[in-house]
Amino acid sequence: MSIFVVSKNHLLRDMIATILESRSQQVKTVCESASAIGSTRDGDIVILHDPASVIAARTDIDMLRQATANLKIILVPKSEQLEGYFADFNNFVAAIIPEGSSSEAFLSAVTMVSEGFTISASISRDAIHKVKPSELLETGLAEGHQDSNIVASLSEREKRVLKLIAVGASNKAIALDLGIAEATVKSHLRSSFLKIGCKNRALAAVWASINL
């Protein structure tokens, strides 16, 4: 797997490449336009930073996928444009990560995408920015395999609570949805975290998005 970084801002594209290479990620090409990428293979990752518009991003993606159908695309729009990109590209690209995210958040996204995950808008808004690559490896989340035994050990209420945190619901919202006290929600979360082997809400949200 190779990574291609596309940005008109040469400082940012070099910074992205440096961050990736510091974690032994193979950056093949750094360029200012999608048309300059060159040859790609299925499974390669293309990072498109700050496309001119949603339409321009779709044009670039269509062009890239005509050449290589199974490219993994990560969009990095400006924060103020994020919701527009979520609306147009959620589950159409591998991930949408806002410009200005921490290096750990960015590396987490690339790690998950390289392992075959698609990061939904709800995860991108919340959990992915709090999950470190090392935590993904420690919990087995980076392997991308569903764990049917652990799923079977969860009660229906615990599954429901985990599904709700996976879409970004707060404890208060979960309590209202289920008609229970917030203290009961916290109890379900503690029990669930122990069963699934995740030490915090962010990791549990990622686990739930994969397994439930």
How does pLDDT run across 170-206, given as a tens digit for each residue?
Answer: 899 899 989 999 999 999 999 999 998 888 887 787 7
Q: What is the average per-residue pLDDT within 52-76?
A: 93
Distance CA 139, CA 206 (A): 11
Specify the CATH number of the domain 3-120. Answer: 3.40.50.2300
pLDDT band at 65 (very low <50, low <70, confident <90, very high): very high
b/e burial code for range 23-55 (CB count within 10 A of at least 16 → b): eebebbbbbeebeebeebeeebbbbbbbbeebe
Q: Is the CATH number of domain 146-211 1.10.10.10? A: yes
pLDDT band at 46 (very low <50, low <70, confident <90, very high): very high
Does position 94 have pLDDT exceeding 80, yes or no? Answer: yes
Does position 151 have pLDDT exceeding 90, yes or no? Answer: no
Determine which of 13-17, 136-140, 163-167, 174-178 has the lowest per-residue pLDDT on average: 136-140
- Domain extent listing, the chain: 3-120, 146-211
DSSP class of residue 47? E
Residue written as tokens 């916290």?
186
Q: Give the residue with greater pLDDT, 125 vs 145.
A: 125
Distance CA 30, CA 5 (A): 5
pLDDT band at 161 (very low <50, low <70, confident <90, very high): very high
Instruction: Give the pLDDT of residue 185.
Output: 94
Does position 134 have pLDDT exceeding 60, yes or no? Answer: no
The predicted-structure confidence for 26-41, as pLDDT tens digits, reads as follows 899 999 999 999 899 9
Distance CA 174, CA 184 (A): 10
Instruction: Tell me what the pLDDT averaged over the chain comes to.
Output: 83
